[in-house]
Structure 1
C-alpha cells in the first residue's frame, strides 16, 4: 500500500495575519482558497487511483493499493493542480504513520516538497 499525506505550508500564518489585521474579508477569502485547493488535491488523488481518507482544513490523505506513480511526478501533479497561490508539503510511506513522519520531515527540511519515508536522511 502507498499512503500519501499532504498538508498546506504556512496556512496558519496566513490565518494569523487575517486575525491580526482584523480583516474579515481576507479571512473568508483564505478559507475559500484553502477549501478549493484541498478539494482539488482530493480530486487529483481520486483520479490517480487513491482512496481519499481525509480532506479537511489544509490537509489531504490518501491510500492506494495499486497506484504506481513516482514521488516526483506526484508532487509535480499536486503543484500543477494547486498553482502558485498556496504551497503544500507531502509525505509518502507504506503506512499511515510512515506517510505522516515523511510529511513532518518534508516540512522540517524546507517545505513545499515531497519526502518518502524510505529515503529520510539521504538528501537533506
Structure 2
C-alpha cells in the first residue's frame, strides 16, 4: 500500500494575518479557498485510485492499494490545483505513519515539495 499525507503551507499564518487586520472578508475568502482546494485535491487523488481517509482544514490523507505511484506527476498535479493561491507539502510512505514523517521532512526542507519516506536519510 502507498499512503500520502498532504498539508497546506503557511495557511495558519494567512489566517492569523486576517485576525490581526480584523479582516472578516479575507478570513472568509481563505476559508473558501482552502476548502475548495482540499476538496479538489481529494477528488483528484480519488481518480488516481486513492481512498481518502481525511479531508479537512488544510489537509488530505489517503492510501492506494497499488505498489507504485508516479509521485512526481502526482505532486505536479496537486500543485497545479492549489496554485497560485495556496501551496502544499506532501509525504509518501508505506504506512500512514511513514507518510506523515515524510510530510514533516518536506515541510522542514523548504515546503511546497513532496518527500518519500523510503529515500529519507
Aligned residue in 2 for 1:69: 69
**d(CA) in 1 for partners of 2:104, 2:22:** 31
CA contact (8 A) 1:92 1:98 kept: yes
Specify the SS of the correspondent of 1:97. helix
Please say if 1:104 is aligned against 2:104. Answer: yes
Shift of 1:67: 6.5
CA contact (8 A) 1:48 1:67 kept: no
Q: For structure 1, which runs of at least 5 residues remain unmatched after alignment?
A: none
**Which residues in structure 2 correspond to 1:16-31 (within 5 Å)?**
16-31=16-31
Specify the SS of the correspondent of 2:39. helix
CA contact (8 A) 1:7 1:59 kept: yes
Greater CA drift, 95-104 or 80-89: 80-89
Q: Could you report, residue by residue, the CA deviation over 1:50-91 in whole angstroms, capped at 9, with x for unpaired residues?
A: 000000000000100026322111111101222211000000
Please say if 1:49 is aligned against 2:49. Answer: yes
TM norm structure 1? 0.94
